[in-house]
Structure 1
């Protein structure tokens, strides 16, 4: 099913691609498109604004929308980037500064009081009912190590919709995805082991490698995720014990790994006897169909799937899960050591929220909201006074900006912070200090007036 604005968007896009309208030429007016296509003004405006966000057209006040010239082609690199040997990891203090300001996915260090999705009201009611249903001395007992059976059963139902036949006894509830990744690495690695990671990749993984005394080797990742040719070369050269990968909308750029690459990854893992640790935390943010997990292809019991509700529902829940493959029993033991148990009433409340269809309904509305917020962000970024390449993910919470090479985003971080704006510099997504000219920019929050002003401030700071 497609919406009418999408049909108009496709028709206009086809006309631009077929050069029905040449660069610099004006598109039919809004009134003409309304009459010609029998559409409302709001529908036509929505389609035009989406094309504007993609940088294909631009509006001229009192004149209409005009086709922009295509961007200059980017020359391919003469040689692939060199892969550096495995090394211990040290994470920048800038990351701690960002987390202390609660601005990992926001330009502003202070939260807005008017942001409260309806689903969270329903979730809080479910949690409150679960708390009131506690009996006698329930509060005096710990939950079982694997976590609430009711919640694990709901996760099984959710996984089945994505082509993964999970089992409740092979799931363990954790304190978020970071905790799940921590347990996975502890279960399958020893200090000094080599772990392959995406580059650019999740800075939280780099923190874990540092804490556990593991060595990391960076494997290039771009628009379609981790480069399988590069991973193959790494595996032939160094004794890699595990590989951490995010096939679905990997941070920072939102890459989605195609099925062919996933199958090749599984084949490489089988050949080299790798533990594959799948960070699946962004899958439920998909704008369209939620992709199947890598775990669904696992026939050798070597994919440890880690996820949580923090990106799809609430950061504050601190509820995640892990399916530990052949290391699952070890992971259950490690959970006892690192967390002991999870809150019973919190788990039951979330299980009820999923069972009555509220979570599925929340995901449907979230997809529309996130896509609109992504398009708004792209529209503003395309108007910045500096040229940049921007990813256009179909899920996740962020885009990846490649700015001119002379721009140092670590230096920009301190200048922007003085004006009350927090950015996430590119080097945080690498253990080797790469990507100094890059930024991760989130669209997790609505673009209210304060955030739009912050974006404009950044544009001014970047102006040549």
Structure 2
């Protein structure tokens, strides 16, 4: 009876701390050793109290990290804003996007805040690249890489993708200068000026930039912030207009981290065959999965219609500028287009990254990153839930950002200059559409630690966007 009382006492104390927000969602609780010392309890008693709270869904045990306050889907209202289907139109991207990119603020509220130590994975990567550079021989520097890219890197990518459920030969892969370059090649290979391309809405603004530069028209397909593109809406679009290509991100699409279930994926591929459609898969966020890494859509492609595009920029380093593409029935044309747009990639950079993957360092980096991203996501959502007003927030299982739907009447475009005057950069919702929708929405990234300065930036945003009273 005495031991029962002790573990219940600790359980009540921890529960009260969670309810009073002594620990926010995503926060790590004191270690078992600390709790034993603080409360004068045995290890078994402390573990029993923690396990009871875990069974109630209030705590989450993470291997080698401890117990964390769990984030529940029930505690977060999912955004409900949906785009409307409109006729295809030319694309004009707002100059505001250029301003955000000039400030390097696509994934940070405070881009001028360069704090923290270099992650161990990046240190290891730098050493791998340095070793590759030191291995240069003779006049190697006077020769270009092969058009498809370094065979060693393509071999490592093939093995990496095999672990995700897709068996691909290295001859089906081509190295690019990032995912944006891969998407550019895919559009050039499948479309001509004036063609119509279907995109997610809200969706990736970088795609809209490419469509504008290539003189392509866009039709926006309503997209769920949790399950991705509405395939029924796409089917309606395909019945009404001749669409040449469809760009989708089945795994954790930006801006809200949607994950497309298997049935819609299969329906999408069936529609592609029925309507002679190229599917361009933006797979860049898959490796940021907080749990199980989803298979690529390409793994289900029986018709050779899916062009897979990805890179290391979201899972490893923005500065690396190495991506890849598998071009399906358009692959040879894509390799020729790469010669025109890039000519070749750095062999030594590719060799360094290949070594980094081969020795297990990339896998270790991803494991560490997933723990960090989950904690940062939970901390961000906990802070947002404290804002006044009726906020709706996505709960992504991967990716680097949440989609925030603010109360009606809030205009994130109008708020941009005021936030900027106070030192904070936001990414307004209308940037993720060509039709001016989502004015009361914004994307917020959790790719950086929530230190004191960034928490202060969130508090500034709260005052700017949803002021009290």
Residue in structure 1 matching 2:239, options 215, 224, 236? 236
Q: Is residue 2:427 matched to residue 1:424?
A: yes
Retained in 2: the 8 A contact 1:55–1:379? no
259, 273, 280: which one pairs with 1:270? 273
State the TM-score, normalizing by the size of structure 1. Answer: 0.86
- Per the alignment, residue 343 of structure 2 pairs with 340
* Cα distance, 1:162–1:49 mapped onto 2, change above 3 Å: closer
Is residue 373–residue 447 contact of structure 1 (8 Å, CA) maintained in 2? yes
2:398 pairs with one of 391, 395, 398: 395
Deviations 1:286-320 (A, max 9, x none): 01111000000111111000000000000000000
Query: How far is the alpha carbon of 1:109 from its aligned partner?
Result: 2.3
Structure 1 match to 2:24: none
- Cα contact 1:109–1:420 (8 A) shared by 2: no
- SS of the equivalent of 1:186 reads helix
**1:287 is matched with which residue: 287, 290, 315?**
290
1:38 is aligned to 2:43: no
Partner of 1:124 in structure 2?
A: 126
SS at the partner of 1:146? coil
SS at structure 2 position matched to 1:163: coil
Query: Shift in Å at residue 404 of structure 1?
Result: 1.0
Call closer, same or farther: CA 1:35–1:55 in 2, change over 3 Å. Answer: farther
2:288–2:314 CA contact under 8 A, matched in 1: yes
8 Å CA contact retained: 2:84, 2:222:
no
Change (3 A) 1:449 1:46: farther
Q: CA offset at residue 54 of structure 1?
A: 4.3
2:178 is matched with which residue? 176
Report the CA distance shift for 1:49/1:152 in structure 2 as closer, same or farther (over 3 A). closer
What is the Cα deviation at residue 104 of structure 1? 0.3
Distance of aligned partners of 1:36 and 1:115 in 2 relative to their CA distance in 1, 3 Å threshold: closer
Distance 2:84 2:283 in 1: 28
CA distance in 2, matches of 1:398, 1:341: 32
User: Counterparts of 2:77 and 2:129 in 1: how far apart (Å)?
Assistant: 53
| Root-mean-square deviation (Å) | 2.8
C-alpha contact (below 8 Å) 1:34/1:40 kept by paired residues: no
- Give per-residue Cα distances to partners, 1:104-126, cap 9 Å, x unaligned: 00001214142411000000000
**SS of structure 2 residue aligned to 1:422:** coil
The alignment partner of 1:38 has SS state of: helix
Give the superposition deviation at 1:36: 7.0
Normalised to the residue count of structure 2, the TM-score between the two structures is 0.86
**Residues 333, 385 of structure 1: CA spacing in aligned structure 2 closer, same or farther, 3 A cutoff?**
same
**1: CA distance between counterparts of 2:381 and 2:428?**
18
CA distance in 2, matches of 1:277, 1:72: 31
Match in the other structure for 2:146 = 144
2:76 and 2:113 mapped to 1: Cα distance?
37
Judging changes above 3 Å, is the alpha-carbon distance between structure 1 residues 256 and 73 closer, same or farther for their aligned structure 2 residues? closer
2 CA distance for matches of 1:267 and 1:157?
28
Give deviations 1:329-360, integer Å, cap 9, x for gaps.
11011101110100010000000000000001
Please list every run of 5 or more consecutive structure 2 residues that lacks an aligned counterpart in the other structure: 1-10, 21-34, 61-66
The CA deviation at 1:416 is: 0.4
* Uncovered stretches (5+) of structure 1, i.e. residues with no partner: 1-10, 17-22, 25-29, 57-69
Alpha-carbon spacing, 1:202–1:134, altered in 2? closer, same or farther (3 Å): same
What is the SS of the residue equivalent to 2:98? helix
What is the distance in 2 between the residues matched to 1:334 and 1:174?
11
Q: 2:78, 2:393 within 8 Å by CA — same for their partners in 1?
A: no
* 2:157 equivalent in structure 1: 155
**Shift of residue 385, structure 1, vs aligned partner:** 1.7
